[in-house]
Structure 1
Amino acid sequence: MRIKGKAPMGGDSPMLDLGDLVVPRRVDITGEAQRAGEQDIRITAEFNEASGRYECRSLTVTAREGGEVTGEVLRAVPVATVMRDGVLSALQSITLLAAGPIPEDITEGGPTTRALEWVARLYRMALVLGEPPIPAVAAGLDLPKSTASRWITRARDRGFLTVQDRRGQRGRQRDDGESMD
């Protein structure tokens, strides 16, 4: 499937400054089937500041000539994959490439300031894309997950990383006894 994401320009979709990333509030995503008889997918994704990631606001599945949209077809639509790839496509054209490619020698000196800045950037990108951040940092910097986790802690301690993965925190209690829901 060919997937493309695009941020509408103008007043409909303002840009959001997330500190180390500037992202569009809304991304329009299209998935184009490559074989005859498949369906085309359109998704509108909006960035939710409370969850720190893009969320699907609308999903349209259209059958191609001679095809049919059935319950089985709908269950087979890889919504999370289409969302991730479409948002990444949109971000690459807008803001993601502003930092350039990850330097090949970024981890050679250990958790340097430059490396920790990349840790924070990769962590933030993973959250925006709805991916688990520790494996994303580990893969992006070619580090073991345990090392990536320690470097994330260092990046947070040094003030490069001010966001946290909010998934999995439902039902947990805050220090004052209130629910975090």
Structure 2
Amino acid sequence: MPDNRRELPLAARLGASIDGVQLADGSSYVAIKPSLLAPTSVRATVELEHFPDTHFDVRLRWDSETLGYRVEHLGITTDRGISTSDLHAYSVPTLVRVVASSGVLVELESITGEAGKFTGFEEFLALVDLDAMRTRASTGPADSLWLVAILYAYARTVGLNPNRTVVDLLALPQRTATRWIARARTEGLLD
């Protein structure tokens, strides 16, 4: 049987591999400000590196109230059985992040000028000059606030701490990141 597992960058950092990521039947995408698309329902089988003989079947559904995903189904399959201590060791938030991150797309228009073209978040980050954004963001150009809004919206969507994500990826002090997030929200770049 061929190994179809993919190691997406976020999944690899979280110690997971994903097999069979797919939009659930009838799923569409929801637009998230400033320029993200998230599937309304996504399903995948996940394997965590610390539990190689255990497979998690995860199905997520978009929740428009929280602007994030809710677990619709979580199944665990293993050949060795599951103990109570195993159940405590599994990280449901990690499973949700891995599956949610696999389907979120970012529009490329502001970077490449190609309207209507989208890419995965990790690929998007590879196209952005984060150092230039860090430098220019202090003076407040729109593209830097746009990036802050993208980082924040993505993190909120996949279940990461949005403020911490902006702080970490842009190497900003917490207070500065909070101010820029508020400014992006004031300028209508965030929901």
TM range (shorter): 0.7 to 0.9
Checking the alignment, whether the CA contact within 8 Å between 1:120 and 1:155 is kept in structure 2 is yes
State the SS of the aligned residue for 2:44: strand
AA aligned opposite 2:60: A
Number of residues paired by the alignment? 159
Say yes or no: does 1:158 pair with 2:172.
no
State the SS of the aligned residue for 2:23: coil
Superposed counterparts of 1:1-181, under 5 Å: 1-4=15-18, 6-8=21-23, 12-19=26-33, 20-34=35-49, 38-64=53-79, 67-91=80-104, 95-97=119-121, 99=124, 101=126, 102-103=128-129, 104-109=131-136, 110=138, 111-161=140-190, 163=191
How far does residue 136 in structure 1 lie from its aligned partner after superposition? 0.9
Distance 1:115 1:83 in 2: 28
User: Mind listing any 5+ residue stretches in structure 2 that lack a counterpart?
Assistant: 1-14, 107-117
Distance 2:135 2:63 in 1: 36
State the SS of the aligned residue for 2:62: strand
Distance 2:135 2:55 in 1: 45
AA aligned opposite 1:47: W
Distance 1:125 1:42 in 2: 23
Checking the alignment, whether the CA contact within 8 Å between 1:3 and 1:86 is kept in structure 2 is no
AA aligned opposite 1:106: M
- Indicate the larger mover: 117-126 or 16-25: 16-25
State the SS of the aligned residue for 1:108: helix
Question: Normalization by structure 1: what TM-score?
Answer: 0.77
Query: What do the CA deviations read for 1:142-174 (whole angstroms, capped 9, x no partner)?
Result: 11111100111111122222x2xxxxxxxxxxx
CA distance change for structure 1 residues 33 and 148 in 2, over 3 Å: closer, same or farther?
Answer: closer
AA aligned opposite 2:133: I
CA distance change for structure 1 residues 115 and 40 in 2, over 3 Å: closer, same or farther?
Answer: same
Q: Which residue of 1 aligns with 2:115?
A: none
The alignment-based identity, stated in percent, is: 25
Give the structure with higher Rg (CA).
Answer: 1
- Indicate the larger mover: 52-61 or 103-112: 103-112
Distance 2:93 2:135 in 1: 34
CA RMSD of aligned residues (A): 2.5
How far does residue 99 in structure 1 lie from its aligned partner after superposition? 4.5
Q: Which residue of 2 aligns with 1:173?
A: none
Q: Which residue of 2 aligns with 1:174?
A: none
Distance 2:65 2:83 in 1: 34
Distance 1:58 1:36 in 2: 19
Query: What do the CA deviations read for 1:62-106 (whole angstroms, capped 9, x no partner)?
Result: 112xx0123322222111112102221232697434745331311
CA distance change for structure 1 residues 106 and 86 in 2, over 3 Å: closer, same or farther?
Answer: same
CA distance change for structure 1 residues 117 and 129 in 2, over 3 Å: closer, same or farther?
Answer: same
